[in-house]
Amino acid sequence: MLKKTITTLLTWIVISTSAQVHDYGFIKSNTIPVFHNNSALLHPWAGGMNNIQFAEMDLDFDGVKDIVAFEVHGRRILPFLNKSKSANEINYVYSPEYAHLFPDDIHGFFQLIDFNNDGKEDIFTYGIAGIKVYKNVSDTELKFVEFTDQVTSIYYENYINLFCTEGDYIVIKDMDGDGDLDILAFWALGKYVDFHKNMSVEKYGNTEHLDFKLVERCWGYFSESEEGNTITLNDYCDNIKQPYSKQHRHTGSTMLMLDENGSGLYDMLLGDMDYPNLFLLRNGG
């Protein structure tokens, strides 16, 4: 019995020593090719993209805009370096080594916009019942610092959080041409769009501030249906303080401003999470 015990103990010592000599480990590789139907997949290790948002910025400071994708499901940052050698070439390379340089609490929506005109894209994302902003303070390496955890706006008399929902994709853009960023957002219980004007230029003479004031309760004079996939035009709502019916629309609308017909005015692409189509709302102003 003693001989058997000693033999077992010696065997265990040999195995343990061998394991220490051969220190096993794993290294992630994104370069292993993956094929499907004899065709190489372009970005096999980037993971699935189910609810994706795209933005542009120069990640590696080479003077060329790269792509930063945000996967809402899973809250993943997916960086892609632009390796194109000419204007006619499209060649983006998945580069996960840049992902850790972004804040880890991004969720809801993700927009890269330079709010203070310093040439560096800042981060706008969902915060506490509204909007959170990270300022880009990069020098030789990508770096962000929290600018505000809650963007506020003057609702008639007092500053409160500029409300938007986690499910909406809002407009952050200079809508009145004065140089600072304004915001269009649906109110959570409403079918109309609120226009929050940035007062930074008017108050401070620069674009360094995010100082908003609610100036319109039904911007664009349209409304979303509470019950179906329809848009009502010429709905003025009289810009009253609470232009909402007893029925409330769900959250989950997306807005994109663009000059679709070259008129010099912003038109809107409007989407809804419950329907596969988009509405194009042309600006007749």
Residue 260 included in any domain: yes
Q: What is the CA radius of gyration of the chain?
A: 26
Beta bridge partners of 194: 185
User: Tell me, what amino acid is at 83?
Assistant: K
Which domain does 197 fall in, by range?
A: 150-285
Residue 57 included in any domain: no
pLDDT tens sequence for the chain (285 residues): 545 555 555 555 555 555 555 566 777 777 788 898 888 888 888 888 889 999 999 999 999 999 999 999 999 999 999 999 887 888 999 999 999 999 999 999 999 999 999 999 999 999 988 999 999 999 999 999 999 999 999 998 899 999 999 999 999 999 999 999 999 999 866 689 999 999 999 999 999 999 999 999 999 999 988 788 899 999 988 655 555 554 555 578 999 999 999 999 999 999 988 889 999 999 987
Residue 186 included in any domain: yes
Our count of domains for the chain comes to 1
pLDDT of residue 2: 47
Residue entry with tokens 């933005």: 55
Task: Give the number of C-alpha atoms closer than 13 A to the C-alpha of residue 256, restricted to the C-beta side.
Answer: 13
Residue 44 included in any domain: no
Residue 243 included in any domain: yes
pLDDT of residue 115: 98
> Is the separation of the CB atoms in 194 and 185 below 8 Å?
yes
- From the centroid of its chain, how far is CA 241? 29
pLDDT of residue 13: 52
Q: How far is CA 264 from CA 51, 78, 172, 257, in A?
A: 31, 34, 18, 12
Residue 120 included in any domain: no
User: Tell me, what amino acid is at 179?
Assistant: G
The pTM of this model reads 0.85
Residue 202 included in any domain: yes
Residue 58 included in any domain: no
Instruction: For the beta carbon of residue 268, count every other beta carbon within 10 angstroms.
Output: 21
Q: Which DSSP letter does residue 15 get?
A: H
Quick check: helix, strand or coil at residue 96?
A: helix
Residue 219 to residue 38: CA distance in whole angstroms? 52
